[in-house]
Structure 1
């Protein structure tokens, strides 16, 4: 089924310039800093990530019209009836039921409700006083996981209910009342899907169960990462989100190591990782069951490895020195492309960097080695390694990601179906004509003009709100593009090749969106953010090298970025706060969340 686009340190001592050290071993200080940052991030990201409490059993009537009666034990002023939209017998099935209440010895219609969502509590307002309720199946094969009755003024399930009459041949009617402790009074992101989790979280579960996947507009690997969390923790909100959170935490050491490799100092490495840690979009994208975080992780990692080749590859060195980073970069490219096609842009950037390095080597060493020896001893082996690394390895990884698709029970899928899916994905993304209130053009993304509103709570007390929006930390994004431009100018004047990888990565993750005519969102800029941050750190390094007292300004900048993350945390995490607090965070009219 196709998916519509929807719905958010240690301080440096001397700061003299130091060349890029592509090959280095992290020291004890580096390991401690990275470990501390990962732990701190997880301590911030894991609370209220999701719930383990999910109704699992169901009452499933076999025929239309089957019913059961709930005896409430006494006359009860009923305010709400909650029902859980879960998985029905390994299926996400849209079904409907009628709800009646007894008055003066007769049942009268009260409400009609549909199970048209997945893994979330929903409710119907009642506003009646009764001692009995009747549930009637409007469709055959429908299922209810759990039913909860709230008495007026109460926030906990009504105790003492029992099934007093049954007209059903369906499965286990007592299952409708056997998991009352899983009830959450406020249906929220903590206990259910929100935004596009309904596509990726659902499809991840279907891959585990060898079912036909619901969402097929992206390659499978990102959803398989999500499925790994479900396999360990169950089909609950914590289970379908934990993999993305762990990848978000793992991105911090990658940024640290990249900064260490580029700038040679632990302080600047810390700056790179810290700015990523407090970026709003990194936080929201790692706490939702979407696939972007996996693509961004592998894109950043592949450029980390290709930097070694671009800076250090030399015809005079053993071919292994060139082969290892190419192979590792190819593995990351394959994993990224099999997660989301944004990695294909990165593959084009890698091809350009390899071509530039080969040309440079030919120009610098053909006189010393001779054209014949250069070709046979260096150029041809590197080309062979590149073909293996960026064609063979990614192709194998990409095809292996489709194994769950080939193993769907009751269906026969083959290689031609995989090829057809690639064409379908291309046609979908290239031909999408939908509109959306939170879409935005590519040029506006670094300006942080249009957040994507992922979630807002319903049913809270007046004056209280819970919301999640995906956008950038203004301290990082509003200074990002000027920092990229400044970094390009400085590096060009100083002829610093180490930054060419970063500029290429940023350009290939951002500029292709200029030519995309379909619906786009600010989170499409996410894959360019790590390289924008590395440009900012480069400018920081250059400023501290020229003006030592600039370290005070740098410390102030990092502090502002961290404070903004703390201030905006409720709008990024879904924390329940006063409506007035969220209102004060809307700095721009276009910031709707």
Structure 2
């Protein structure tokens, strides 16, 4: 055994050259599998950005050099060897233009479906009655105020005199309502386009971000564009983007946080390769001491950004807490496996001591500070709901806590009790298990017309907005989730694990409240991860770059038929997503299940 070579890596005579994302003879289970060994063929006819085919020459060089650096252990911990083992690569320069252009094109398609006729219908619909009026109140005073009875009729006419001076009790944090207020500030509070502008904007940006995330995860411009296209044309996402509710913002900030952590994953591995190589291979000798726990990786700026994004997610709805918890754990597991792959002996302890604590500090306090900052309007006011509760209820036990924080805590405790005890009946409530098949989509708006009214040219017409997804995307997505569970169990593929983590954070918490009144449109929070599941399965169907041409052609035909069918179905269902006036009989053709009515 070479001098200074750490014994936990085994005999150098038996160690094989590592695959792109594996480590030779490293002990322990694999929380995160090799992405090179079991990677679907995620590429088009030409090599995709970062795909093993696109970096095959680099991979072959690493393998050719394998026997040499195994015989000379110091070479196992050079920056080049560590970078190869950790799976760090860049897109070829010839494909970098498409890396940005393909997601942008899908976002343009989605933007057109979201912004065209955004002001229709020209009135408050469904829960806009709460959030749009709250947003107007924010623009006036920085907190929610009550409205007089029948305020909607006046509000729809652009008359806002029914806003009262008394504080209103609300149970959702401010961020989503401030986002809605931004559009109203830009275009005026009397503009229905302005009411919905922010929802349409973040819905469109989410398409772009999701496509970039898919490209990075699957190393394929083609599959990145596929993810963007599916998200762009899905009806559930379109309806949420055309309506000023809060859940579209929950989805956006959760997706943003996930994307930031994905960037942090690569950044952390680059830092690990650079710092470990400088420690472990100094003077051409392997320093075993440096390989016990590994180095500290410094301030992780992308992780801090994720903390801000997830704080905004929580500041929209408290359901964002689950994304913070799940994504934080996921990020630590990624770091843990990176240290294992790199050859750190005590990779669990090294991760906890040098990554885990720092990850907690980078995300949880940052998210908490961001959340508190979102309540600035409440803090600055004197008349907001419960603002003076602490003054009116002095405490000898908690008197050292500032009155503003005590008051906010009391406000939150009453809101929590409201959420956990919410069990009122509603015609469109939907158990979370039914979301897989869209068992009870929510009707946001419906208006019936007679011949000659509202552009109706037949006896009876209907204009509707139903939060119904594209059936092929949603039913296919449910199957794709099941496939990914199998993939993760069989291969421990890190991408399958990450997708399932995002899905679980958005779905599983609702299973613990079976008696609570919940709705299908909450599922928008995990829809991007369902899309990623579909795309990963489609990548498997496409086959690998090295597969026989007939295999690739068959895969391309199947994927092409799936995408064409999805687009055709979206064209068919679009009228009931965008409140278009259509014959009532044609509307009935869209109600495939009785529970969709």
Same fold (TM over 0.5): yes
In the alignment, does 2:99 pair up with 1:30?
A: yes
Residues 566/21 of structure 1: CA separation in 2 closer, same or farther (3 Å cut) = farther
**Of residues 274, 281, 286 in structure 1, which corresponds to 2:236?**
281
Q: Secondary structure at the match of 1:449?
A: coil
Cα distance in 2 for residues equivalent to 1:508 and 1:498: 15
Q: Secondary structure at the match of 2:580?
A: coil
In the alignment, does 2:192 pair up with 1:237?
A: yes
Unaligned runs of 5+ in 2: 1-42, 56-85, 145-167, 276-295, 389-403, 454-458, 545-550
**Of residues 353, 356, 368 in structure 2, which corresponds to 1:383?**
356
In the alignment, does 2:510 pair up with 1:478?
A: no
Aligned twin of 2:372: 399
Within 5 Å, give how 1:244-259 maps onto structure 2: 244-259=199-214
Aligned twin of 2:74: none
Cα distance in 2 for residues equivalent to 1:237 and 1:394: 32
1:448 offset after TM fit, Å? 1.2
Deviations along 1:422-474, one digit per CA (max 9) or x if unpaired, are: 21221111000201111111111011121100001256545111110002210
Aligned twin of 1:48: 117
Conserved 8 A contact 1:358-1:379: no
1:321 offset after TM fit, Å? 7.4
Cα distance in 2 for residues equivalent to 1:410 and 1:495: 54
1:366 offset after TM fit, Å? 7.7
Residues 316/266 of structure 1: CA separation in 2 closer, same or farther (3 Å cut) = closer
Q: Secondary structure at the match of 1:49?
A: coil
Conserved 8 A contact 2:332-2:355: no
In the alignment, does 2:189 pair up with 1:192?
A: no
**Of residues 169, 172, 175 in structure 2, which corresponds to 1:218?**
172
1:525 offset after TM fit, Å? 1.6
Cα distance in 2 for residues equivalent to 1:550 and 1:466: 39
Q: Give the number of the structure whose residues are more often helix, by fraction.
A: 2
Aligned twin of 1:147: none
Q: Secondary structure at the match of 2:543?
A: helix
1:369 offset after TM fit, Å? 7.4
Conserved 8 A contact 2:106-2:225: no
Aligned twin of 2:249: 294
Unaligned runs of 5+ in 1: 1-9, 51-188
In the alignment, does 2:304 pair up with 1:327?
A: yes
Q: Secondary structure at the match of 1:467?
A: strand
Conserved 8 A contact 1:313-1:321: no
Deviations along 1:82-115, one digit per CA (max 9) or x if unpaired, are: xxxxxxxxxxxxxxxxxxxxxxxxxxxxxxxxxx
Aligned twin of 2:147: none
Residues 32/21 of structure 1: CA separation in 2 closer, same or farther (3 Å cut) = farther
Conserved 8 A contact 1:218-1:340: yes
Q: Secondary structure at the match of 1:33?
A: helix
Count of residue pairs the alignment pairs up: 441
1:581 offset after TM fit, Å? 1.1
Q: Give the number of the structure whose residues are more often strand, by fraction.
A: 1
Q: Secondary structure at the match of 2:444?
A: strand
In the alignment, does 2:276 pair up with 1:345?
A: no
RMSD: 2.7
Residues 542/245 of structure 1: CA separation in 2 closer, same or farther (3 Å cut) = same
Cα distance in 2 for residues equivalent to 1:22 and 1:248: 31
Cα distance in 2 for residues equivalent to 1:290 and 1:297: 13
Within 5 Å, give how 1:40-439 maps onto structure 2: 40-50=109-119, 190-210=121-141, 212-213=143-144, 214=168, 216-235=170-189, 236-310=191-265, 313-314=268-269, 315-318=272-275, 319=296, 323-360=300-337, 368=345, 375=350, 379-408=352-381, 410=383, 414-439=404-429
Residues 556/398 of structure 1: CA separation in 2 closer, same or farther (3 Å cut) = same
1:365 offset after TM fit, Å? 6.3
Structure 2 length as normaliser, TM-score? 0.69
1:362 offset after TM fit, Å? 6.2
1:382 offset after TM fit, Å? 2.4
Q: Secondary structure at the match of 1:457?
A: strand
1:356 offset after TM fit, Å? 2.6
Cα distance in 1 for residues equivalent to 2:88 and 2:410: 41
Conserved 8 A contact 2:449-2:462: no
Q: Secondary structure at the match of 2:308?
A: helix
Deviations along 1:390-444, one digit per CA (max 9) or x if unpaired, are: 2221112111111122334655553333222221221111000201111111111
Cα distance in 2 for residues equivalent to 1:485 and 1:242: 36
Structure 1 length as normaliser, TM-score? 0.69
Conserved 8 A contact 1:402-1:418: no
Conserved 8 A contact 2:174-2:315: yes
Residues 17/582 of structure 1: CA separation in 2 closer, same or farther (3 Å cut) = farther
In the alignment, does 2:480 pair up with 1:525?
A: no
Conserved 8 A contact 2:210-2:228: yes
Aligned twin of 2:555: 550
Q: Secondary structure at the match of 2:445?
A: strand
Aligned twin of 2:46: 13
